[in-house]
Structure 1
Amino acid sequence: MKRDSKLNRRTLLTASGVMIASPALLLAQSAPRPQADTDLQRNASSFITHEWQDHFDQLGRGIIIADTNTMVLQHWTTDGAMRIYPTSVPMTDDLTRRGYTEVTEKRENPGWGPTPEMRERDPTLPAYVQGGDPRNPLGTRALYLSWQYYRIHGTQDTRKIGRRSSSGCIGLYNEQIEEVYERAPVGTQVKLI
């Protein structure tokens, strides 16, 4: 009998604690979120994906949509498989070109020479950097677009990804541009938005 009374007291104390704590738990759920949670929610909500059908009539040889606002590149292959990659984008709106283009050429370890406008902004830039050189801003692969001087390419400087840091191109981590390079043939449709 004595054992039952201990069990009942324990049950009573536990139940009382739950009843006392319940209003606090309800208030905690309705309280404003801390700043860190708000930042996380804002970052996740800024990750907007697009449907290729909203921009193109058919998949053709594949589709790349690079969103310069959310810094995301989406790539669809001919079978409809889609992958998403974080990117770097142009530093300013006047360096950003938007619209339709296509992949016209692909190069492994491309060489790089600054555009005349880049040399004007920074005369200390080298005239040319060989492919494979760690100073080469095009990284390990480049997809050349029908627009002169515009490319989707890798980068040796991984700090640039997720930032406005290019002079007009779309940059990806080297590992990721290598994936896109393998899956995107010449003729892949591209839209920068």
Structure 2
Amino acid sequence: MSRDKTRRSILLRAGTLVAGLAAPALLRAQETPSRNVSGFVPHDWRDHFGSLGAGAILADTTSTSLHYWSAGGSDYHVYPTSVPASEDLTRRGYTEVVEKKVAPTWTPTPSMRERFPEWPAVVPGNDPLNPLGPYALYLSWQYYRIHGTHDTRKIGRPSSDGCVGLYNEHITQLFDLVPVGTQVRII
């Protein structure tokens, strides 16, 4: 299979939703700021963390939202997200940001390679079809990331293989705000 056909296969499998379903998510991204996104219930960090420490991220798989609080609590941002496509792919609990990468290289997990053997073994970070987008926050859990996505149809619905995806402009904002050591909870 040629490289172009392999790339198209990745995009087609990653974006299995009908293009018409993407319109509401695209409109939400254009109409809603990162702060106090309408339709999302604000969370209180105290319900999830003992302290803010270096900062805190709560990824809510039910409301498909990510909440960020700065170390001092003065900044609170809410972003719409994609979440894992199934319970089998969903991991819940506490982790933390252990690394931040610009133009991260994407390597499919072993289970992805089993399900989709035609996928490439590696997609470089500068490739426009890289599913991680321009930035990624690596978590202490193997294979779990908070990252951008070029496939905006995924935002607002279960559609990922385990990661939490954000619009590229939102991961760009979050990446600048979040230090390594930020605690993360996925509920």
Q: Shorter-chain TM-score category? A: 0.7 to 0.9
Aligned residue number for residue 112 of structure 2: 118
Which deviations, in whole Å up to 9, do the C-alpha atoms of 1:126-162 show, x marking residues without a partner? 1000002111000000000000000000001111111
Aligned residue number for residue 184 of structure 2: 190
1:121 is displaced (CA, Å) by 1.2
1:46 is displaced (CA, Å) by 6.2
User: Higher relative contact order by CA 8 Å / sep ≥ 6: 1 or 2?
Assistant: 2
Aligned residue number for residue 169 of structure 2: 175
1:45 is displaced (CA, Å) by 9.3
Aligned residue number for residue 93 of structure 1: 87
Counterpart among 46, 54, 59 of residue 53 in structure 1: 46
**TM-score scaled to structure 1, two decimals?**
0.75
Quote the Cα distance in structure 2 between the aligned partners of 1:48 and 1:124.
40
Q: 1:100 aligns to what SS in structure 2?
A: strand
Which one-letter code corresponds to 2:54 in the other structure? R
Q: 2:117 aligns to what SS in structure 1?
A: coil
Matches within 5 A, 1:60-75: 60-75=53-68
Aligned residue number for residue 14 of structure 1: none
Quote the Cα distance in structure 2 between the aligned partners of 1:56 and 1:172.
22
**TM-score scaled to structure 2, two decimals?**
0.78
Q: 2:166 aligns to what SS in structure 1?
A: strand
Which one-letter code corresponds to 1:172 in the other structure? L
Which one-letter code corresponds to 2:44 in the other structure? E
Aligned residue number for residue 155 of structure 1: 149
> What stretches of structure 1 move > 2 A for 4+ residues in a row?
44-49
Which one-letter code corresponds to 1:173 in the other structure? Y
Structure 2 residue 99 is the aligned partner of structure 1 residue 105: yes
Quote the Cα distance in structure 2 between the aligned partners of 1:156 and 1:46.
23
Which one-letter code corresponds to 1:76 in the other structure? W
Which one-letter code corresponds to 2:71 in the other structure? T
Quote the Cα distance in structure 2 between the aligned partners of 1:156 and 1:47.
23
Which one-letter code corresponds to 1:115 in the other structure? T
Q: 1:106 aligns to what SS in structure 2?
A: strand
1:48 is displaced (CA, Å) by 2.4
Quote the Cα distance in structure 2 between the aligned partners of 1:115 and 1:45.
34
Q: 1:179 aligns to what SS in structure 2?
A: helix
Quote the Cα distance in structure 1 between the aligned partners of 2:119 and 2:185.
29
State percent identity of aligned pairs. 62
